[in-house]
């Protein structure tokens, strides 16, 4: 066991779970259909393609607001309701049996849980995220799973602070592992934690734009975590 870390905190989507490959395409299509039904002035294929193009160009932007600004809404439709329809359809949905961990993730968790205190902190609609965790069968690997719902004003910073309160110890004994430099890396480094950027998924091209977003470690896939961070 490394003497440096006592606690490892994992993100879920596109860190352990192949969200971009298995879930995003269907969720994106559903979001486009929901926005069109609510009044977005375009067709589903054009909406889907523009969504992908915008995220590739502007990964920090609000894609739902962009789609409304780009295409407009039909007469009588409320732009904010169209935006909300897209967000809800993407994040609040039934998750099918196609969910799967990345290669090596299960064995990694089973190895690390014997050596470290593990937490899972996942952001999104709580009911949807709970479905994912249940289908993957990974809750037993973690001391606790913390669900962060941004629509309720919850943040990963609050969750990380709660973990520090429960575990105690110096900030440098905590390691945050996630795929987003803004929420998984910068938030943890704000507290003095070490960080590992798993550069996978829909936001793998989002580059750090200030020092807090610069990770201590970077890996191309989750199965490389142990070797890279000497766990």
Domain 24-91, CATH: 1.10.150
Which ranges in the chain are annotated with CATH 1.10.150? 24-91
> What does 32-86 look like in DSSP terms, one character per residue?
HHHHHHHTBSS-HHHHHHHHHHHHHH-TTS-HHHHHHHHH-B-TT--HHHHHHHH
Which ranges in the chain are annotated with CATH 3.40.50.1000? 7-19+100-229
Residue 179 token pair = 């795929």
**CATH match of 7-19+100-229 with 3.30.300.30:** no
Residue 137 token pair = 């069968």
**Strand 217-219 relative to strand 174-178, pairing:** unpaired
The pTM of this model reads 0.93
Residues 6+ apart with CB under 8 A from 181: 197, 206, 207, 208, 213, 214, 215
In the 8-state DSSP scheme, what is residue 216? S
pLDDT for 98: 82
Per-10-residue mean pLDDT of the chain, 231 residues long, equals 83 97 95 98 98 96 98 98 97 89 97 97 96 96 96 95 96 97 97 98 94 97 96 94
């Amino acid at each position: 066991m490394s003497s440096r870390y006592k606690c490892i905190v994992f993100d879920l989507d596109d860190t352990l779970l192949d969200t971009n490959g298995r879930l995003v395409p269907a969720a994106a299509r559903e979001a486009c259909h929901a926005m069109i039904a609510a009044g977005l002035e375009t067709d589903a294929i054009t909406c889907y393609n523009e969504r992908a193009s915008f995220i590739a160009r502007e990964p920090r932007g609000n894609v739902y607001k962009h789609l409304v600004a780009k295409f407009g809404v039909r007469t009588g439709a409320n732009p904010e309701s169209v935006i909300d329809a897209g967000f809800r359809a993407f994040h609040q949905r039934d998750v099918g049996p196609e969910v799967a961990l990345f290669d090596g993730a299960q064995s990694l968790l089973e190895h690390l849980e014997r050596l470290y205190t593990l937490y899972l902190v996942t952001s999104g609609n709580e009911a949807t995220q709970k479905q994912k965790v249940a289908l993957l069968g990974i809750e037993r690997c973690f001391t606790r799973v913390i669900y962060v719902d941004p629509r309720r004003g919850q943040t990963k910073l609050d969750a990380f602070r709660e973990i520090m309160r429960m575990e105690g110890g110096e900030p440098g004994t905590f390691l945050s592992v996630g795929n987003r430099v803004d929420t998984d890396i910068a938030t943890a480094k704000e507290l003095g934690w070490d960080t590992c950027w798993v550069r996978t998924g829909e936001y793998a091209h989002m580059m750090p734009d200030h020092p807090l977003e610069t990770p201590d470690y970077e890996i191309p896939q989750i199965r490389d975590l142990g070797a890279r961070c000497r766990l």
